Chains A and B, each alone.
Chain A
Amino acid sequence: MGNCCCGGNCQDARLKEILEQYKGMDGVLIPVLQKAQELQGYLPEKTLRTIADYFDMPYSEVYGVATFYAQFRLIPSGQNVIKVCTGTACHVRGGQKILDRVCSELNIKPGETSADGKFSLEPVACLGACGLAPVMMINDSTFGRLTPAKVSEILAKY
């Protein structure tokens, strides 16, 4: 948003729009958090507080929901999000070695973001592509039938 002309308040305004869509409806906290996260890529404390105030909920309740579900991030992610499947089918076909290779290539641990901010790594339970195990996703692309060597090749392309 290099050409922003509203004094940096764009995101606030857009968050407001999201909140208004759900005004007066029941059970909307999870969809609101999902939409808010799409906006910024993560959920900073300020956003959580705005949501709590708007729906007149205790902050603890919003924080409690945001930390309960794996989908929500409270810290910013890297430019590219790598999800390595650690489901059973991938595990028995060597998923751990794939995860290890990603860690050693990027020099980070699961859940961390690389020093240059380029990648963050999230192990996930199952991507539902077990036929292609072991599998990982980078952003929206799925890579299947992996070997540690293939991982290095794929990462080099980003």
Chain B
Amino acid sequence: MQIYRGHVLVCAGTGCVSSGSRKVKAEMEKQLEAFKLEQEIKVVETGCHGFCEMGPIVIVYPEGIFYCQVKSEDVKEIVEEHLLKGRPVKRLMFKDRITEEMVPHYNDIDFYKKQNRIVLRNCGFINPENIKEYIARGGYEALAKALTEMTPEQVIEEVKASGLRGRGGGGFPTGLKWGFARAAKGDKKYVICNADEGDPGAFMDRSILEGDPHALIEGMAIAGYAIGADEGYIYVRAEYPLAIKRLKIAIAQAHEMGLLGEDIFRSGFNFKLNIKEGAGAFVCGEETALIASIEGRRGEPRVRPPFPANKGLWGKPSNVNNVETFANVSKIIAKGSQWYASMGTEKSKGTKVFALTGKVKNTGLAEVTMGLTLREIIFDIGGGIINNKKFKAVQIGGPSGGCIPEELLDLPIDYDSLIQAGAMMGSGGLVVMDEDTCMVELARFFLNFTQLESCGKCTPCREGTKIMLDILERITKGEGKEGDIELLQSLAETIKSTALCGLGQTAPNPVLATLRYFRDEYEAHIKEKRCPAGVCSALTSYTILEDKCKGCTACARVCPVQAISGEVKKPHKIDSSKCIRCGACMETCKFSAIIKK
């Protein structure tokens, strides 16, 4: 067997690949050969580390030195200095945002320190295309335990006792759901994984699929055993080609080793998995719509009951969970429900993965124990707001959720506290906004999204969201009227209580939450025709400050509509009738001579 003294992990998640990690890996292999180290050092391609902002990420083991934003030109230095001579390359290490010191080790970086990585335990650490690496980390031991030592009922009891709740949005207790599917009568049952991560701003499922696909497969097989299903479907967005590729490899490897297929662990249990590629429809995140889509129909939801547990795919009892939920299962079975239930708050156990994005310094995936506060996530893990601007609000739960203002930052996060605050856990998207974000425009943005994605089957969602959107568009254009706020509120309440599925029922949430916490911004738009954040272009204008303008002509050259005129070395002017308020001039000006009002 070939022993390597060192492993170089190169991230091959979507984020790092976009930043150029493929080139880095190729160069790494070339340089290792050039320095005759290819027999001593192994290059391993891993999934996402969750710290995409810093990509491409390279980690050198056994020391665990973390290099970030590595370019192919940097590779020679890493090989020669670190791998050959043992001197880690300081300049490529992560620089602490506050102390400005270099942090050599992965585990010492603030972004990772407060995290509790259970679901993401293998992401970025193993090669997702090699099943043996998953097994080395204890993979498939939970499946062996469930199949050889436990009855299906015991598995369900264990999941119930762990307190695991659905991580896809609703937060329904997973063990209970499995119990319903187990109790349903039928000769054929299905396990379905919802990997149609459509919530913009959330990408934890993608990272698990790309970085640790076997965790999902093992969780689904355990679920199959528990409910009595011999077949499963994974419904993945077609926008995630890398995830689909890795899943296919993982399923084939599990089959080869007998971990999927017939008579697994000689228990008589058979299980096979199919992949279905979605075709781009947000509403397919709703379980009945998802099932319709697997069946090849328009992805429209239907009235429940009957619930999928009784009448699901092809009319058979089916159990639908999302990726993160399944990825928790193997750890619960392996380490026991007590261990799992010891983490978290009273009604929300375990951890949750959040996708931290927006105006925050460290963007990426953060898996934290339930009950941590938003402040800890945004300021300790996220490092605070970009350019040290003022925090304004954070949107939780995507277009179905709501925003949470500064005064609630110390709220411990769990399913129930978020609902009370007018938001929801959703899939775990956390979009941080600073003082430059207009909350009215944001509500319009979310409603525009849900309106476009409304499938049109039920009237409250199809017509109601359209009217709400029209009102919001008027307000952001400075055409708001007295009474608009009240109308929005009453429409929102009606849609919430009458829409057919989760998409419609939650669509008004962003409007209600912004009205609850930022009503003054709505009033400023309607009564004073003013956008306090200076975002709504119809309510803002750009002006050149004469005393600061040096007449360099840079702004006039970038203006796409020739609205800026003036002689060289003399102050320029903006013709506001021509100006389309794109802001290009302000970005270009080196003298801060252009202001927005």
Contacts and interface: CB of A to CB of B under 8 A. Distances in A.
Contacts of B446: 88
A126 B239 CA distance: 9
Interface in B373-407: 395, 398-399
B517 interface: no
Contact of A132 (B18, B201, B395, B445): B18
Given A92-B358, A128-B239, A130-B355, A87 B200 contact: yes
Q: Which of B19, B239, B558, B561 has the most CB of A within 10 A?
A: B239
A68 interface: yes
Interface string A12-55: 00000000000000111111011000000000000000000000
B429 A88 contact: yes
Nearest to A66: B279
Nearest to A125: B200
A93 B358 contact: yes
A47 to B, nearest CB: 16
Contact of B279 (A27, A30, A132, A144): A30
Q: Which of A61, A69, A93, A131 has the most CB of B within 10 A?
A: A131
Interface string A106-136: 0000000000000000001111111111010
B239 A127 contact: yes
B29 interface: no
Interface in B348-362: 355, 357-359
A129 B53 CA distance: 9
A36 B500 CA distance: 33
Given A30-B293, A88-B398, A148-B587, A130 B298 contact: no
Contact of A131 (B198, B280, B357, B583): B357
A59 B17 CA distance: 41
B417 interface: no
A149 to B, nearest CB: 7
Given A72-B279, A87-B200, A125-B200, A130 B359 contact: no
A130 B588 CA distance: 25
Interface string B395-424: 100110000000000000000000000000
Interface residues of A, number: 44
A71 B279 contact: yes
B26 interface: no
B60 to A, nearest CB: 22
Given A29-B296, A87-B201, A89-B358, A128 B14 contact: yes
Contacts of B293: 30
B277 A34 contact: yes
Interface string B285-298: 00000000111111
B296 A65 contact: yes
B19 A92 contact: no
Given A71-B238, A100-B582, A130-B363, A88 B395 contact: yes
Given A87-B200, A88-B429, A92-B431, A71 B280 contact: yes
A11 interface: no
A73 to B, nearest CB: 11
Contacts of B299: 68-69
Contacts of A34: 238, 277, 279
Given A70-B279, A92-B359, A92-B431, A147 B587 contact: yes
Contacts of A100: 580, 582
A131 B197 contact: no
Contacts of A72: 279
B435 to A, nearest CB: 12
A7 interface: no
Contact of A69 (B201, B281, B357, B431): B281
B147 interface: no
Given A27-B314, A34-B279, A68-B299, 15 more contacts: A26-B295, A27-B294, A30-B296, A88-B200, A88-B395, A88-B445, A88-B446, A97-B582, A128-B197, A130-B357, A130-B363, A131-B51, A144-B18, A147-B587, A149-B558
Interface of B: 14-15, 17-19, 51-53, 55, 197-203, 206, 238-240, 276-282, 293-300, 314, 355, 357-359, 363-364, 395, 398-399, 429, 431-433, 437, 442, 445-446, 449, 453, 455, 558, 560-561, 580, 582-584, 587-588
Interface of A: 26-31, 33-34, 61, 64-65, 68-72, 86-89, 91-93, 97, 100-101, 104, 124-133, 135, 142-144, 147-149
12 contacts: A26-B295, A28-B296, A68-B298, A88-B429, A89-B363, A125-B449, A128-B239, A129-B14, A130-B203, A131-B364, A144-B18, A148-B582
